[in-house]
Amino acid sequence: MAEQDSGQDRTEKPTPKKLADARKKGQIARSRELNTTLMLIIAAISFFMVGGYLGNELRLLMLADLQIERERIMDTTAMLQTFSSNIYQGLAFIAPFLLISLVSSFIGPLVMGGWNFTLSAVKPKFNKLNPLSGFKRMFGQHALIELVKSLAKVGLIGAVGTVLLWGLADDFLNLSSEPVDQGIIHGGRMMLWVFLAFSSILLLVAAIDVPWQLWSHQKKLRMTRQELKDEFKQTDGNPELKAKIKAMQREMAQRRMLEEVPTANVVLINPTHFSVAIRYRDGEDDSPVVVAKGTDEMALRIREVAKKHNVPLFSAPPLTRALYYSTEIGQHIPTGLFIAVAKVLAYVYRINEQMGRHVQKPEDLEIPEEFRNLDRKNTKFER
């Protein structure tokens, strides 16, 4: 339990970032058994498709090599020239088969882990030259699994080979009594079937090896709890990323706040630093609500939006500061400021009703002592 609590056991599944980093380094689940099996099966099928053509062309090439013109018998360079010519012809004949074999070598890796090209996997790793590490690999779990797979392959191929050879023994013996051309064709077909049978039986080994390789790859990439914490700090917990997220959230909140300014009845201002927008809807709001507030640049933006939408501005520095420090956006104003805010709202209503006629501006906006000189104090007020 102590070891687990220390975060040293690799018990956590790899994160997407861990898998992506491993992929960049070339660490992808691979199965050599699957690669070998697919290459052998495709090669056997290719022999069935082009084997007749290839065998016939090679037969004709061999017949041509066994013949030589009388006038060139004494030419010491004739054999070398014929050999060189036949090399190029032979390569041309087997080129399709070689191309198919080359393409088939990529199918297994693509099936297991997709296309991935990186130079990290070919960089020299001097830690592998350590004899102790070599002994650990020789006698480790991976080496034991490879030994079991090798023994399984030898056993399967041996068993299948014994059954096939026993069943085809008479056919092989009868090849000697067949004409040469027919015997070559018959023997070639039997060898191809045997080759395809040997290749197909390896599918059983591949079917066991592929899940094992996938599980082993995931196990190697498992993480400790400490690694998970470190990765979280590097991504979601990154201070710069957090700052960007907070800045975006703050910008979105300010945008929403400015959208509420046109709904306000009045914007209280301290002409130099503060602005607080107040809304009161009769029948909807129990008491006046602060829909926007800000200082300095934000205070100017609130005033600009208010002027644009004909929301009246009312200069009352003590009341504005008291509301700014005692109320958050969306909150009802404290009960201690009801009378002062009510006087301001009544003044605004009278102006709207009298259509520009002279209305006495309230001067006696009393601010209770508890709301004076708050300066961001974390004080709770009754609302």
Q: Confirm if 245 and 258 have CB atoms less than 8 A apart.
A: no
In this structure, of 53-67, 129-143, 157-171, the range with the lowest mean pLDDT score is: 129-143
Q: Is the pLDDT score of 6 beyond 50?
A: no
Q: What three-state secondary structure class fits 6?
A: coil
pLDDT at 124: 61
For 135, what's the count of Cα atoms within 13 Å in the CB-facing half-sphere?
Answer: 3
Buried b (16+ CB within 10 A) or exposed e, 105-120: eeebbeebbeeeeeee
pLDDT at 277: 92
- Provide the mean pLDDT of the chain: 78
pLDDT at 276: 92
Q: Is the pLDDT score of 42 beyond 70?
A: yes
pLDDT at 118: 61
Q: What tokens appear for 309 in the block?
A: 């939408």
In this structure, of 6-10, 240-244, 270-274, the range with the lowest mean pLDDT score is: 6-10
Q: What three-state secondary structure class fits 319?
A: helix
Closest CA to 165 of 182, 148, 146, 190: 190
User: What does the domain layout of the chain look like in residue ranges?
Assistant: 16-222, 256-371
Instruction: Indicate the fold that domain 256-371 takes in CATH.
Output: name from scop (3.40.1690)
Angle at 204 (CA atoms; ends 201, 208), nearest 5 degrees: 155
Split at pLDDT 50, 70, 90, the class of 78 is confident
User: 264-307: per-residue pLDDT in tens?
Assistant: 889 998 877 899 999 988 878 788 999 999 988 889 999 999 99
**Mean predicted confidence (pLDDT) in 109-121:** 66
Q: Is the pLDDT score of 137 beyond 70?
A: no
User: 43-54: per-residue pLDDT in tens?
Assistant: 888 877 777 777
**Mean predicted confidence (pLDDT) in 238-247:** 72
pLDDT at 360: 75
Q: Is the pLDDT score of 82 beyond 60?
A: yes
**Mean predicted confidence (pLDDT) in 348-369:** 75
Closest CA to 206 of 102, 121, 79, 108: 108
**Mean predicted confidence (pLDDT) in 82-104:** 79
